Amino acid sequence: MLKLEDISKYYYSSSNVTCALRKINLEFKIGEFVAVTGESGSGKTTIFNLLTKSYIVDSGIIKIDEYDINDLDEDTLRNNI
């Protein structure tokens, strides 16, 4: 199972803070097919980048089978996503 719990992500610039995701909760079961849709700028790519650890969450936790993805090495993460 892949689970996102209260995920928030912000982007910072010299004059602005942009909230990309605010307290998002999602759960995907093994074997389940999911499509993520939405308007441009709605956070789809941000979610993907958080799942692959390309970005770090500002708050919340992402788990694979109850393990925090931050505790998994890159190979283990790839094999489980």
Residue 80 has pLDDT above 90, yes or no: no
Q: Give the pLDDT score at 11.
A: 95
Quickly state the pLDDT bin for 7 (edges 50, 70, 90): very high
Residue 60 has pLDDT above 90, yes or no: yes
Q: Does residue 2 sit in helix, strand or coil?
A: strand
* Segment 24-42, tens digit of pLDDT: 999 999 889 999 999 998 9
What contacts 38, CB < 8 A, 6 or more positions away? 44
pTM, rounded to two decimals: 0.85
Question: Pairing relation of β-strands 59-64 and 2-12?
Answer: antiparallel
